[in-house]
Structure 1
Amino acid sequence: MKRLKVAVLGCGSVGSQVVRLLTEQADDLAARVGAPVELVGVAVRRLDAPREVEVAPGLLTTDAHGLVSGGEVDLVVELIGGIEPARSLILTALEHGASVVSANKALLAEDGSTLFEAAEKAGRDLYYEAAVAGAIPILRPLRESLAGDTVTRVLGIVNGTTNFVLDKMDTTGAGFTDALEEAQELGYAEADPTADVEGFDAAAKAAILASLAFHSRVTVADVYREGISEVTAADVASAREMDAVVKLLAICELKDGAVAARVHPAMIPRSHPLASVREAYNAVFVESEAAGQLMFYGPGAGGSPTASAVLGDLVTVARNRLAETRGTGESSYAARAVLPMGETLTRYHVSIDVADRAGVLAAVATAFSEHGVSIQTVRQEGRDDDAQLVVVSHRATDRQLADTVEHLRGMEIVRDITSVMRVEGMSE
């Protein structure tokens, strides 16, 4: 029986668990695939680095290029991350006849087209379920299960670190800094959390989701991005007064035949399914014409959960190799344009520190009206020096709403704009 030879690039938290599962579940994997799956090499930066699982010394190598360019490997699992050398190694693997499984969201979101074209040319598979939302099966449903439907919107919590921080701010009243420190202490946040808290990680995942959902090439550069570092305890408290929570959302949607893709914090009602996603969990909410509303929920990161998604892809790709076929490749036939953020329809929640005197409310309402923005609700909080107006708008373009806020900042009656946050999922 033909043995399928597998090389793993990277042996960090995910790579080490992939190696463990390949070893411990070798018999089951062989039964599921239809042939033995043999681990023939694990590429690492340092042979003597500490690892979560023991790897047979004969499997370890620092020559990643040599491992994937020999022409003897059937499947390459890329878990290095980043752009280079991951891109070069994947391209080399495909050129030398290997199919590829990757969890590299940054590379796929920045230069996925190069990888897909190389896979197409080589007649090999490129699978990447683990690149978005860890163990949650979301990419394959978009690519295959919903292939006969029209997806209109994808709304997701796709970063566990930010969800943990915002959840702690909501449940304990903590500020951003304290909640982030707790996340770091528990291992949910890196020592340098910039990629997570500033939305870079979520933006890469949004690009991948939008590309699959709308059959168009969307890169991370097309995704509008805001992080959560400016979210305050007052913002979270204001959301609570509206019976809402603050979440960092990845939002991908169709509007007049074009794609809008954005990542930013937003208030969503507690009745929305995504509001109940706690701590470091992820969830993706999909809306389509025929299936309606679907939600995918589970652990969005971690070595074992992500390794589960990697092994799922590996089994599929291995079966394809045995059948001498390949799975679904890139679908970009729609080639839809990507809308700039200014043309995207959204809603704002604006807290305005105002002078407490007659005519203020009318003046604020006029400012909204002059920019074509309709007000849904307005309430006053406090009196005298503590007077605040809290306004929630109806839907308008983001440019109209941003221009309204700038107008307000320049008004003599406005002392300060203390909070500006988008609103999603609330009825108008």
Structure 2
Amino acid sequence: MEVNGGDEYYIASDNTGTPLAVFSSNGQMVKQLQYTAYGEIYHDSNPDFQLVLGFHGGLYDPLTKLVHFTQRDYDVLAGRWTSPDHTLWARISKEPAPFNLYMFKNNNPLSDMIDVKNYVTDVKSWLVMFGFQLSNIIPGFPRHPLYFVDPPYELLASQDCDNAQLFTGVQHSVERHNKAFMALEGRQLNKQWRVKRDKPGYWFGTSTPVVGKGMMLAIREGHVLASVTSAAGEGSRKIAQVLTGAIYLEGMHYTIDRRDWHFFVKLGLPDGDLLALGISGGHRTLESDLNVTVSGRSRRGVTVEIHTSALVFSVRYGLGAELLEKERARVLEQAQQRAVARAWAMEQQQVQEGRDVSRAWSESEKQQLLAVGKVPGYEGYYVLPIEQYPELADSRANIQFLKQNEMGKR
């Protein structure tokens, strides 16, 4: 490194490019730096000597404590990027795995990626580099997986111009004549569609349908739109008829007994849908993995529940404008009961195992909690209001135990 005055300095860095010491031209140490695991400087022997190079070889700003790399800024205090990495989507779509858009170096800031992959450090990877695949030579030999490190952003950015597709004048002329020729028969060539169709990619699909075979659902302006294909069975067609036109209770889907429950409201009488389902009460199986249950029948309405292996759709029928609010209140009340019951169960388990609990229980209260599963005089109340966070209505983490005289102190 050379400064404006013409003096030269030598920077000693570790394997990740992080500067650890600065030496003058005569070998004298001018500055020594020590970092935490995620790059925060906790020892600087010479703060007056400004060094622009920082953690992992980036440009360090001592005022904001940000390290600037080519594409983004890194916050050494948070240990995260300041902006998301949207390039992850292409890799995650091909190889699904846990991810974090702000994660720095896969949460391994002490090592370089090339060291983690251990490329050409064993015999198998050396043989592969020279073109020898033992799995192709020896029958039954396990195939050796290779994990290549992605090229740096600087290299990819410099190659953008090289990857641009070039078209000569002859190619443009041929393309124009082809379009003119196809236009004679009323057909047009869509080159982008053809390239997209022929481009290899990865397609995902579940082995079994989530709702019903050949049935598609969509929510538009709060209402359900259901349609079926020719591959749909009789049960899927009946379910589509039931869900069509129902009002979806937004933000009120919960996991109950390892199933994702969604709640709907349908204004009107249920007679037509029940006739199509061939059920007036109780339980019926439409297909191998599609069950229907009718419950809560009264003069005000009835509830139809559609059960699959992973989902449950609860449709409440009734008349009157207040049906939507009543169903919402009923769902929230049941969610609160589940949340309080789960919170008491967790509190009892924590006391049994001697772990930290939500509040300081006395010894007598602990004995009551272990004996009956709750402490008399205490009730479960929400920490965050469910009017703003309905998705937390059945979360035990959103429950706190208070006495009646403590309500005003929350």
TM-score by length of 1: 0.21
* More contact order relative to length (CA 8 Å, sep ≥ 6): 1
Structure number, greater radius of gyration:
2
TM-score by length of 2: 0.22
